[in-house]
Amino acid sequence: MNYSRYSIITLLFLLFGLAANARKDNVTMTLVENGRPQGRIIVTTHEAADRQAAALLQDFIQRISGARMEIRHETTSRKGDIVIGNGAPNNTVPTVDLSEDGFRLTNGDGRLHIVSGGDKGAIYGAITLLERFLGIRYWGDHEYSLTPAKTVALPAINIAENPAFRYRQSQHYAMATDSLYTLWMRLESPGDVFAGGYWVHTFDRLLPSAVYGEAHPEYYSYFNGQRHPGKASQWCLSNPDVLEIVTAKLDSIFKAHPQQHILSVSQNDGNYTNCQCEHCKALDEHEGAPSGSLIHFLNKLADRFPDKEISTLAYLYTMRPPKHVKPRPNVNIMLCSIDCDREVSLTENASGREFVRAIEGWSRVSDNIFVWDYGINFDNYLTPFPNFHILADNIRLFKQNNVTMHFSQIASVRGGDFAEMRTWIVSKLMWNPQYDTDSLMTVFLNGYYGDGAPYIYRYIKMLEGALMGSGQRLWIYDSPVSHKQGMLKPALMRRYADLFDHAEAAVAGDSIHLARIRRTRLPLLYSELDIARTETTMDTTAISRKLALFEQRATLFDVPMLNERYNTPIEYATLYRTRYMPRTERNIAAGATVRFLTPPTGRYATPGNTALTDGLYGGATFGESWIGWEGIDGAFILDLGEPQSFSEIRTDFLHQLGAWILLPKCIRYSISDDGDTFHEIGAVDQPEDRESKVKFVELSSRNPQPLTARYIKVEITGTKTCPHWHYGVGHPCWFFIDEIVVQ
Ligand SMILES: [Zn+2]
């Protein structure tokens, strides 16, 4: 039975039926009576999934009732038994309409049958029985709820379900620590499915530039006048030798992993680094998109492996489909929505509509599409990310456009914004996009937060309305500061705090619910701190107190990191104290006028003449307080107003590789009395830094004897072009400065 044949009301009944035990007048079979098992669990096959389903049922029925149902491996059964698997010779329960991971539950003949459409179908059938008919809810890391009962009975059951997507992937911290969690959420991992772990950005693993680059630069992409072998540049897809080498490599991988039928042959993580040699360029121009040469190449590869699937990325420069060539049925198109904004559904804003055009284009030529979607702030896991209202719309859009595999990337680290509820809702919607998000949310909130639930629901709704009312976009690399005049403005922050105060008060006597509410509140505390550092006035006593609270709670709740670069909460608090709290040191350059000799780039071109001397230090997000130069050197003159005595000059730089912001190569300081004739007093060379962590780096010049001057010239030699190891290889990179200190 296809999910779409249920009406939403039926689905809600099925999902929330929640009969921990069927009402007496509705009992069809009794599994446990007064603590005594009434039947057995019969496993009719030797399938691992069927055995695991049996063990799960035995375990959880015992957790409810204390009674342990016996598991037997045989094909005969009697009334009162749970019969798992498709192996009974007289099995009359239909399975033809079930797809991989699908199942049917029925107990019309007095036995409860669980039959499977393959793979984990029996396990998901068992979990559905436990969740929907025996009232067990699995929320998070070893977190579940059930109502103990001496008698466990079932009503008449006859349901069949198939997943909306054959492959469902998401993220949650419990997936690493609680093996049951992944099963309950019905999620899979790339390692289960993709041969040899080849699942994205595989070009450099399959044809390593370190091995072939020097002898055969012609295997790699040509642009800006040269070949670029490297981890972030791409292949020359029209080179016939590349096809032969990669074919041989794939052959060996598939032979080594006979159980897995799909692997990814996909571009390295770099943008605009595709080959523009004469042949590749001609093909791409004919096809109207850089995906042209890629699909031509993959079709040739796919023809050599007709019983396997080759997956590839449609990502960044390959997002749009080619005009003419159609991917072979065994070419899987992995389409990524990374550039889209999230305040409204994908059909409702410009960035989303561009993605919709791409998915509609691909769905016209392929029914084998994988969507990689994004649903959290990756730069600030602990910042409110109100996107629950768009989840169902977007997942339904994917389903309508021939998407068969789906990865909803939501990070979901411990302490991250609604980490537990986000995965719970996303997993349910990936199984069945017709579920109603608001109803799912209500079930989760009530189960997870107890009496605090109504306040948290109001918080979510207020935040969602404030976001849309603000007219601001919701981007996966925002910072709380991006929304300080919108959904996180002071008047709203006060009301959010009030709702959380009420929620905490409502569960004051209940340590489990209270801890969950406080953990869920952390993103507001973090946002408050992060916004405060960008204000010119700061209540230092209040902020110090909140910082200490943040540190204490983040430690208590074991929050491992704040962003995808692994910066920890403790690092943040330490940095905050040294960098953002008002400084006691005197800066001679405070408020000094800056004259740019080489103006900053683009929107940074007219930063105001005190932006580098206003005492405000930027954060990891380059949007505020920073000034940047792209692909060029920079220079400016600082006018101290009158001759001043000093011995040290420090300039603060941002290192953020993900945003193509690299440290400069060198900085030179010179001084002058008249602003015309300068003489150099110091120069610093900065070694290359490949570390992915965001850093703030001071490049300073110190003189043993104090110097006196009115003007200081700062000349910066930028790295200018992203090096071969960087995602942006061959393209301009930035350097950013926020502040200059003279002492
Ligand atoms: Zn080429």
How many whole angstroms from 280 Cα to the centroid of ligand 1? 4
CA distance 13 to 70: 31
pLDDT at position 34, please? 96
CA distance 204 to 212: 10
How many whole angstroms from 722 Cα to the centroid of ligand 1? 21
pLDDT at position 495, please? 98
DSSP state of 187: -
Does residue 44 register a pLDDT over 70?
Answer: yes
Provide the pLDDT confidence category of residue 583 given band limits of 50, 70 and 90: confident
How many whole angstroms from 297 Cα to the centroid of ligand 1? 11
Give the max Cα distance, the chain.
Answer: 102
Q: Report pLDDT digits (tens) over 512-539.
A: 999 999 999 999 999 999 999 988 788 9
How many whole angstroms from 237 Cα to the centroid of ligand 1? 5
Provide the pLDDT confidence category of residue 9 given band limits of 50, 70 and 90: very low
How many whole angstroms from 201 Cα to the centroid of ligand 1? 18
How many whole angstroms from 239 Cα to the centroid of ligand 1? 6
How many whole angstroms from 275 Cα to the centroid of ligand 1? 5
Provide the pLDDT confidence category of residue 7 given band limits of 50, 70 and 90: very low
How many whole angstroms from 218 Cα to the centroid of ligand 1? 8
CA distance 77 to 554: 53
CA distance 137 to 50: 21
How many whole angstroms from 692 Cα to the centroid of ligand 1? 30
Q: Report pLDDT digits (tens) over 115-173.
A: 999 999 999 999 999 999 999 999 999 999 999 999 999 999 999 999 999 999 999 99
The percentage of the chain sitting over the pLDDT mark of 70, rounded to a whole number, equals 97
DSSP state of 133: I
Does residue 478 register a pLDDT over 80?
Answer: yes
Q: Report pLDDT digits (tens) over 272-319.
A: 899 999 999 999 999 999 999 999 999 999 999 999 999 999 998 999
How many whole angstroms from 288 Cα to the centroid of ligand 1? 16
How many whole angstroms from 320 Cα to the centroid of ligand 1? 19
Kindly state the tokens that stand for 445.
Answer: 């909130």
Provide the pLDDT confidence category of residue 25 given band limits of 50, 70 and 90: low
Q: Which CATH fold topology does 593-742 show?
A: Jelly Rolls (2.60.120)
How many whole angstroms from 631 Cα to the centroid of ligand 1? 25
Inter-residue contact 692 to 727 (CB < 8 Å): no
CA 544 to chain centre: 31
Provide the pLDDT confidence category of residue 621 given band limits of 50, 70 and 90: confident
How many whole angstroms from 293 Cα to the centroid of ligand 1? 9
Exposure string for 509-518, b = 16+ CB within 10 A, e = fewer? eeeebbebbb
How many whole angstroms from 283 Cα to the centroid of ligand 1? 10
Provide the pLDDT confidence category of residue 209 given band limits of 50, 70 and 90: very high
Q: Report pLDDT digits (tens) over 393-441.
A: 999 999 999 999 999 999 899 999 999 999 999 999 999 999 999 999 9
How many whole angstroms from 234 Cα to the centroid of ligand 1? 9
Q: Report pLDDT digits (tens) over 630-671.
A: 999 999 999 999 999 999 999 999 999 988 999 999 999 999
How many whole angstroms from 198 Cα to the centroid of ligand 1? 23
Range from 36-50, 428-442, 602-616, 667-681 carrying the lowest mean pLDDT: 602-616
How many whole angstroms from 316 Cα to the centroid of ligand 1? 18
pLDDT at position 18, please? 42
Kindly state the tokens that stand for 185.
Answer: 């959420």
How many whole angstroms from 267 Cα to the centroid of ligand 1? 14
CATH number of 3-162: 3.30.379.10
pLDDT at position 20, please? 44
How many whole angstroms from 236 Cα to the centroid of ligand 1? 4
Give the residue carrying structure tokens 């709380």: 480
How many whole angstroms from 268 Cα to the centroid of ligand 1? 15
Provide the pLDDT confidence category of residue 11 given band limits of 50, 70 and 90: very low
pLDDT at position 709, please? 95
Does residue 584 register a pLDDT over 50?
Answer: yes
How many whole angstroms from 222 Cα to the centroid of ligand 1? 6
How many whole angstroms from 282 Cα to the centroid of ligand 1? 9
How many whole angstroms from 658 Cα to the centroid of ligand 1? 26
How many whole angstroms from 219 Cα to the centroid of ligand 1? 8
How many whole angstroms from 596 Cα to the centroid of ligand 1? 41
Does residue 4 register a pLDDT over 60?
Answer: no
Does residue 392 register a pLDDT over 90?
Answer: yes
CA 613 to chain centre: 36
Residue range 668-675: mean pLDDT, rounded: 95
Does residue 609 register a pLDDT over 80?
Answer: no
How many whole angstroms from 248 Cα to the centroid of ligand 1? 20
* Amino acid letter, residue 598: T
How many whole angstroms from 629 Cα to the centroid of ligand 1? 31
How many whole angstroms from 726 Cα to the centroid of ligand 1? 20
How many whole angstroms from 365 Cα to the centroid of ligand 1? 24
CA distance 479 to 61: 46
CA distance 47 to 486: 54
How many whole angstroms from 348 Cα to the centroid of ligand 1? 37
How many whole angstroms from 272 Cα to the centroid of ligand 1? 13
How many whole angstroms from 284 Cα to the centroid of ligand 1? 10
Residue with more model confidence, 489 or 567: 489
How many whole angstroms from 221 Cα to the centroid of ligand 1? 6
How many whole angstroms from 250 Cα to the centroid of ligand 1? 21
How many whole angstroms from 223 Cα to the centroid of ligand 1? 9
Which contacts of 179-182 are long-range, i.e. CB under 8 A and separated by 24 or more positions? 180/56, 180/138, 181/138, 181/140, 181/141, 181/142
Q: Which of 244, 258, 249 is nearest to 308 (CA)?
A: 258
Residue with more model confidence, 3 or 70: 70
Identify any residues that bridge with 116 across adjacent strands, giving them in sequence order: 103
How many whole angstroms from 278 Cα to the centroid of ligand 1? 7
How many whole angstroms from 225 Cα to the centroid of ligand 1? 12
Does residue 17 register a pLDDT over 60?
Answer: no
Provide the pLDDT confidence category of residue 23 given band limits of 50, 70 and 90: low
- What average pLDDT does the structure give for the chain? 93
Give the residue carrying structure tokens 């740019």: 596
How many whole angstroms from 577 Cα to the centroid of ligand 1? 51
Identify any residues that bridge with 263 across adjacent strands, giving them in sequence order: 310
How many whole angstroms from 197 Cα to the centroid of ligand 1? 27
Provide the pLDDT confidence category of residue 716 given band limits of 50, 70 and 90: very high
How many whole angstroms from 235 Cα to the centroid of ligand 1? 7
CATH number of 190-410: 3.20.20
Provide the pLDDT confidence category of residue 12 given band limits of 50, 70 and 90: very low
Give the residue carrying structure tokens 């610093």: 684
How many whole angstroms from 683 Cα to the centroid of ligand 1? 42
Strands (E), 303-368: 309-314, 331-336
Which contacts of 67-72 are long-range, i.e. CB under 8 A and separated by 24 or more positions? 67/32, 67/35, 67/36, 67/37, 67/152, 68/37, 69/31, 69/32, 69/37, 69/39, 69/40, 69/41, 70/37, 70/40, 70/41, 71/40, 71/41, 71/43, 72/40, 72/41, 72/42, 72/43
Does residue 622 register a pLDDT over 80?
Answer: no
How many whole angstroms from 600 Cα to the centroid of ligand 1? 35
CA distance 477 to 480: 10
How many whole angstroms from 227 Cα to the centroid of ligand 1? 9
Inter-residue contact 341 to 351 (CB < 8 Å): yes
Provide the pLDDT confidence category of residue 16 given band limits of 50, 70 and 90: very low
How many whole angstroms from 295 Cα to the centroid of ligand 1? 14
How many whole angstroms from 287 Cα to the centroid of ligand 1? 15
Does residue 21 register a pLDDT over 70?
Answer: no
How many whole angstroms from 217 Cα to the centroid of ligand 1? 11
Provide the pLDDT confidence category of residue 24 given band limits of 50, 70 and 90: low
